Amino acid sequence: YEPGEANIKGEVNKTEIKEQGEIMIEGVGKFQFNPSDIITIREDIFKEGHFSIFDILVFLSKQGEVDLKYHFDENMNTNVIDSINDTTNWWFMAYYDGG
């Protein structure tokens, strides 16, 4: 088989795992990270190795890249973002290839 060529069972051989992810959040910035460093805070929703853009934001906040404030709302059973970089009541578009 050649690299990336599928065999009879449909499996892909010799694939490359990217060690660099990039997310662009309009109004906040463009950030690079290693996807294997992201750990979901909602293990009840995401399987191991899977995560949300919210998890990326939490990671970036821990790294000091953004100032993220959030809380868990029990009625909605989800995390709610209170502010990003001291901006409240916001709408941001995020682009992440590979999530």
Give every CB contact of residue 47 below 8 A, 6+ residues apart in sequence.
none
Q: Residue 28 and residue 47: Cα distance in Å, rounded?
A: 28
Across the strands, what pairs with 69?
Answer: 83
DSSP annotation of 42 reads: -
pLDDT-based confidence at residue 62 (cuts at 50, 70, 90): very high
Q: Tally Cβ neighbours within 10 Å of residue 60.
A: 21
- Burial level of 63, CB count in 10 A (0-12/13-18/19+)? exposed
Give 91 or 33, the one with higher predicted confidence.
33
What's the mean pLDDT in 8-28? 69
Whole-prediction pTM value?
0.75
